[in-house]
Amino acid sequence: MSELLAPILPGATLGVLGGGQLGQMFVHAAQAMGYRTAVLDADPTSPAGLVSHAHVRSGYEDPQGLAELAQLCAAVTTEFENVPAAALRTLALQLPVSPAGDAVAIAQDRAAEKAHFVRCGVPCAPYAEITTPAQLAAVGANLLPGILKTTRMGYDGKGQARVRTAAELAAAWDAMGRVDCVLEKMLPLVHECSVIVARGRDGAIVHLPVQRNLHRDGILAVTEVHAGNVPETQAAQAVAAAESVAHGLNYVGVLCVEFFVLDDGSLVVNEIAPRPHNSGHYSQNAMDVSQFELQVRCMTGLPLVQPRQHSAAVMLNLLGDLWFQDGMPRTPAWDQVLALPGTHLHLYGKTDAKPARKMGHLNITAATPEQARGVALQAAAILGIAPY
């Protein structure tokens, strides 16, 4: 039915499931374009709920909350990967929902996700599903050392254990309560990168440039985006792979595909996120269309125009750790950081800083990659972020 729909124009109300920072930045983008917004999140102080025109305070499975959201909105999207797919399917009976519940369900399940990569002919890490003691016992030595990952609900490196031997693997699975897992072979990574695509109802697709990502302790720390940040062959392969993953899902919306580049130059897909992604935040200041505007355009059926990068970019994630020094609370020296040219501060309005909690990000734009990196290193030194 969606192809028959006329575009939903500014003035209409757009809904988002989830009230985190991704929802907040979606709300900002939608409001800048003249839309009204509604957020569904049980937390009365959620970052997106605080800035939205309407805030439905209910859980994702509350039929009344979903009905209220449907009543308010002309279209709905999601910002939270683990929104029950059933909630999206329920809403889709009444109004356009993108991405679809079926696509989100695949992204929520590492085993289904890997099966999809195989279907699309995009290589992923060698792996085995571990859901029974027999499967555990059958794990081949070729998958060790490896990383045991829960099939569902993992993020920011949570629900993962690095294991070197069969004994460590068994102990780690026990410690995880023997929930469904996949064991992935530990690969020799030289870079990590990601590609964000936006696919419309009509199958038209555009992409952001390849983002080079540095993770620390399983959490994204730095993203660098400029031509040459990843060798050209891998960059072209990554874009083609991301497009094929999106087409294969008949996906509508913004999709992030994360990759590993290995020491032999080969490219391996890691995982997908069915929404804007932390590694795409630089697009707010370095692209002429941000990933959040792309989300608005996809869900409303507005045209997708290939985004252009106008500045070299670095993004530094601002984790709660920066709000402490020697165990004592402090306020980071924002005034010093903002004295540096091309710095753009984004804080999500979370009042409670905790180590490893994503509190905000700093985008740095410059005419050249060297300048962007130089300013990023200065900002990192001021804030207490380790150099990269």
Question: Where do contacts with ligand ATP occur on this chain (CB under 6 A)?
Answer: 125, 147, 149, 154-158, 184, 186-187, 189, 192, 215, 218, 258, 270-271
Least CB distance from residue 188 to ligand ATP, whole Å? 8
Nearer to ligand ATP, 154 or 274 (CB): 154
Nearer to ligand ATP, 246 or 337 (CB): 246
155 is known to lie in a ligand binding site: yes
- The token pair that represents 223 in the structure block: 């993203």
Q: How far is the CB of 282 from ligand ATP (least distance, A)?
A: 16
Of 55 and 149, CB closest to ligand ATP: 149
CB of 261 to ligand ATP, least distance (A): 11
Nearer to ligand ATP, 157 or 384 (CB): 157
Q: Any binding-site annotation on 135?
A: no
Has 160 been labeled as part of a binding site? yes
Rounded to an integer, what distance in angstroms lies between the CA atom of residue 127 and that of residue 78?
29
Q: Within the chain, what is the greatest distance between any pair of CA atoms?
A: 59
**φ, ψ for residue 331, nearest 5 deg:** -105, 125
Cis upstream peptide for 329 (omega within 30°): no
**Residue number, 67 or 221, with CB nearest to ligand ATP:** 221
Consecutive H or E run containing 221: strand 219-225
Q: 149 among the known binding-site residues?
A: yes
**Rounded distance, CA 294 to CA 305, Å?**
9
- Spatial neighbors of 1 by CB under 8 A, at least 6 apart, are none
Q: How far is the CB of 85 from ligand ATP (least distance, A)?
A: 17
On whether the CB atoms of residues 211 and 193 are closer than 8 A, the answer is: yes
358 is in an annotated binding site: no
**Measured from the CB atom, is 12 or 186 closer to ligand ATP?**
186
Known binding residue 271? Answer is yes
Is 187 annotated in some ligand binding site? yes
How far, in Å, CA of 68 to CA of 77, rounded?
Answer: 15
Closest distance of CB 323 from ligand ATP, Å: 21
| Smallest separation (angstroms) from ligand ATP to the CB of 258 | 6
Of the pair 158, 178, the CB lying nearest ligand ATP is at: 158
**Dist CA 384 CA 189 (whole Å):** 26
Do the annotations mark residue 264 as ligand-binding? no
* Cα 171 to Cα 298: distance, rounded to the nearest angstrom: 45
Closest of 29, 23, 101 to residue 302, by C-alpha: 29
156 is in an annotated binding site: yes
The rounded radius of gyration (Å) of the Cα atoms in the chain is 21
For residues 50 and 54, what is the distance between their CA atoms, to the nearest angstrom?
A: 9
Quote the least distance from Cβ 149 to ligand ATP, whole Å.
Answer: 6
CA-closest candidate to residue 206, choices 273, 308, 306, 98: 306
How far apart are the two ends of the chain, measured CA to CA in Å?
A: 48
Copy the structure tokens of residue 77. Answer: 């999207």
185 is known to lie in a ligand binding site: yes
How would you classify the pairing of strands 205-207 and 253-262? unpaired
**Partners of residue 287 on adjacent β-strands:** 309
Closest distance of CB 187 from ligand ATP, Å: 4
Minimum CB distance to ligand ATP smaller for 68 or for 79: 79
Q: What is the residue type of 242?
A: A
State yes or no: 154 annotated in a binding site. yes
Instruction: Provide the β-strand partners of residue 37.
Output: 14
**Residues comprising the binding site?**
110, 149, 154-160, 184-187, 192, 215, 270-271
**Residues comprising the binding site for ATP?**
110, 149, 154-160, 184-187, 192, 215, 270-271
